[in-house]
């Protein structure tokens, strides 16, 4: 496997890194503390083409490959987990689903305004009673003339309260399990759609995580995304790709934590010398730096396989599992190296610590990644 980046991939990564350092990082603490979704940052991300990263240019996107999009995600997450999470939900979940499975009519009507950043997207699968077990969703869609009527609740939906367009999964076969799910494009103005509230949460405060309600929500028949009753398979394929982005997101938080730990350990003096001179501190930095490098290689490998149209389910799950646990380890270590200063808000590491936990939960928990990886490995074994 050759993981040399092309000139273009390096250029786009640098553009993302410079933008994140100059325009996102200086505001990351403020937007987290005020729990404010920073629209102005998303307008600037749109100017750079990052609101439609993998969408063809004819639909308003930047037509980046998966490797480049993941590199951009890492750089944005390094500056602000909140901005990166909202960007990931918009790009790889909402837009990815709509562009990949939507009809030409849906692409023309919705993909362009999302890709150019005029509109924000959300992707609504999870419900109060259905998380890891996505086949058990209870939201229903029933056909009535030339409309679908959606009824049910969605829970923990990134961008739910700020999105203009939402891809919503609902059951179209009342007694089916898994096979009877379909996706719908819902506009926020559609009759019967309601944002109930944004959740108060541990971290990622500038990225709204919303509860949504659908009461006889009227959706035009042509807003069915993909084939009827094929939604579960489409969701699984979108999550495979999304996990590469979540791995890159995790590496961004891990790298930020590591950078902070290195810098602090050189500045902080105890017992008459920089704490970076103590072997205990040096070994912590060595362990985290090694895991960060390994995580980056894992997500690049998964992204490269996707770009080469090779199977990448196992590789994406491995990258997501290892990188998310690395993000937690890196943030934990960085707080530890900062001592008491790591526990107060004057330093960004307490934010990294809070934000990192999501990596092990969103787009499939670590336990679900282990299920996917073991299933992929063991399916090739012959028993009996």
Ligand X SMILES: Cc1cc2nc3c(=O)[nH]c(=O)nc-3n(C[C@H](O)[C@H](O)[C@H](O)COP(=O)(O)OP(=O)(O)OC[C@H]3O[C@@H](n4cnc5c(N)ncnc54)[C@H](O)[C@@H]3O)c2cc1C
* 341 C-beta neighbours (distance < 10 Å), count: 14
Return the number of the residue (44 or 354) whose C-beta is nearest ligand X: 354
Q: Is 246 in the site for ligand X (CB under 6 A)?
A: no
Site string for ligand X, 157-196 (x = CB under 6 A): xx--------------------------------------
Q: Is 125 in the site for ligand X (CB under 6 A)?
A: yes
Structure tokens at 300: 């690049």
Q: Is 220 in the site for ligand X (CB under 6 A)?
A: no
Please state, in angstroms and rounded to a whole number, the distance separating the CA atoms of residues 363 and 126: 10
Q: What are phi and psi of 52, to 5 degrees?
A: -140, 55
Q: Is 197 in the site for ligand X (CB under 6 A)?
A: no
Structure tokens at 282: 């040096």
Q: Considering the complex, what minimum distance in angstroms separates the CB of residue 143 from ligand X?
A: 24
Q: Considering the complex, what minimum distance in angstroms separates the CB of residue 111 from ligand X?
A: 19
**Among 169, 301, 181, CA closest to 243:** 301
Please state, in angstroms and rounded to a whole number, the distance separating the CA atoms of residues 253 and 13: 16
Which residues are 153's β-sheet partners? 213
**Among 309, 292, 295, CA closest to 244:** 295
Burial class (CB in 10 A: 0-12, 13-18, 19+), 294: middle
- 363 annotated active-site: yes
Q: Rule CB under 6 A: which of 139-158 touch ligand X?
A: 156-158
The C-alpha angle 231, 235, 236, rounded to 5 degrees, equals 120
* Catalytic member of 147, 363, 367, 376: 363
Q: Is 209 in the site for ligand X (CB under 6 A)?
A: yes
Q: Is 89 in the site for ligand X (CB under 6 A)?
A: yes
Q: Is 126 in the site for ligand X (CB under 6 A)?
A: yes
User: Applying CB under 6 A, which of residues 59, 338, 362, 369 lies at the interface with ligand X?
Assistant: 362
Active-site amino acid positions: 363
Binding site for ligand X (CB under 6 A): 89, 123-126, 131-132, 156-158, 201, 204, 209, 358, 361-365, 367-368, 371
């Amino acid at each position: 496997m050759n993981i040399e980046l092309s000139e273009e991939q390096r250029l786009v990564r640098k553009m993302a890194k410079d933008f994140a350092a100059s325009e996102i990082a200086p505001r990351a603490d403020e937007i987290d503390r005020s729990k404010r979704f920073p629209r102005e940052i998303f307008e600037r991300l749109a100017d750079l083409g990052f609101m439609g990263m993998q969408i063809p240019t004819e639909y308003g996107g930047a037509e980046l490959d998966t490797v480049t999009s993941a590199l951009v995600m890492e750089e944005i997450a390094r500056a602000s987990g909140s901005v990166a999470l909202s960007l990931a939900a918009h790009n790889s979940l909402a837009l990815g689903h709509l562009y990949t499975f939507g009809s030409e009519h849906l692409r023309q009507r919705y993909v362009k305004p999302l890709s150019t950043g005029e509109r924000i997207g959300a992707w609504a699968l999870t419900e109060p009673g259905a998380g890891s077990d996505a086949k058990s969703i209870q939201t229903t869609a029933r056909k009535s003339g030339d409309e679908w009527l959606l009824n049910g609740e969605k829970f923990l939906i990134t961008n739910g309260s700020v999105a203009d367009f939402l891809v919503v999964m609902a059951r179209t076969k009342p007694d089916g399990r898994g096979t009877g799910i379909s996706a719908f494009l819902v506009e926020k103005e559609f009759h019967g759609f309601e944002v109930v509230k944004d959740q108060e949460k541990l971290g990622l405060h500038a990225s709204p995580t919303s509860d949504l309600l659908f009461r006889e929500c009227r959706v035009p028949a042509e807003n069915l995304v993909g084939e009827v009753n094929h939604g579960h398979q489409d969701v699984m394929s979108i999550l495979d790709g999304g996990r590469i982005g979540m791995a890159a997101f995790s590496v961004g938080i891990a790298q930020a934590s590591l950078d902070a730990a290195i810098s602090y350990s050189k500045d902080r003096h105890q017992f008459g010398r920089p704490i970076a001179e103590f072997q205990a501190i040096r070994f912590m930095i060595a362990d985290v730096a090694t895991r960060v490098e390994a995580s980056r290689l894992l997500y690049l490998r998964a992204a490269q396989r996707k770009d080469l149209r090779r199977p990448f389910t196992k590789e994406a799950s491995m990258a997501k599992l290892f990188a998310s646990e690395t993000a937690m380890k890196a943030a934990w270590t960085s707080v530890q190296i900062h001592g008491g200063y790591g526990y107060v808000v004057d330093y960004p590491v307490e934010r990294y610590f809070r934000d990192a936990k999501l990596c092990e939960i969103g787009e499939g928990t670590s336990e679900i990644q282990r299920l996917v990886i073991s299933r992929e490995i063991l399916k090739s074994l012959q028993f009996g």
